[in-house]
Amino acid sequence: MRVGRMELCEASVVVVTGSRHRAQAFEACRYCIDTLKERVPIWKKEVCPDGSFWIEGEEAIEVSDVPRETGS
């Protein structure tokens, strides 16, 4: 699991496939990424000049609307 700030253009997922033909390898990579996006809840926080937003899939949530966890 990755937690922390990522810079622009930094790789967040690496998929490696092997095939005799390039098209089949690209198809396998596409399948892996599409399956990952469907099954894994991926959250990201975008920081903009006008505020911060948590994004899950296509939905943006203002940071102030996200409940904060309190540690013990």
What distance in Å separates the CA atoms of residue 61 and residue 54, rounded to the nearest whole number? 5
The larger pLDDT score, comparing residue 33 to residue 65, is at: 33
The larger pLDDT score, comparing residue 48 to residue 1, is at: 48
Model pTM score: 0.55
The larger pLDDT score, comparing residue 3 to residue 36, is at: 36
Question: 3-state SS string over the chain?
Answer: CCCCCCCCCCCCCCCCCCCCCHHHHHHHHHHHHHHHHHHCCCEEEEEECCEEEEEECCEEEEHHHCCCCCCC
What distance in Å separates the CA atoms of residue 23 and residue 36, rounded to the nearest whole number? 20
pLDDT tens for each residue of 12-60: 888 999 999 999 999 999 999 999 888 887 777 888 888 888 877 666 5
Indicate whether 72 pLDDT > 70.
Answer: no
Indicate whether 71 pLDDT > 70.
Answer: no
What does the CA dihedral 39, 3, 14, 47 come to, rounded to 10 degrees?
90
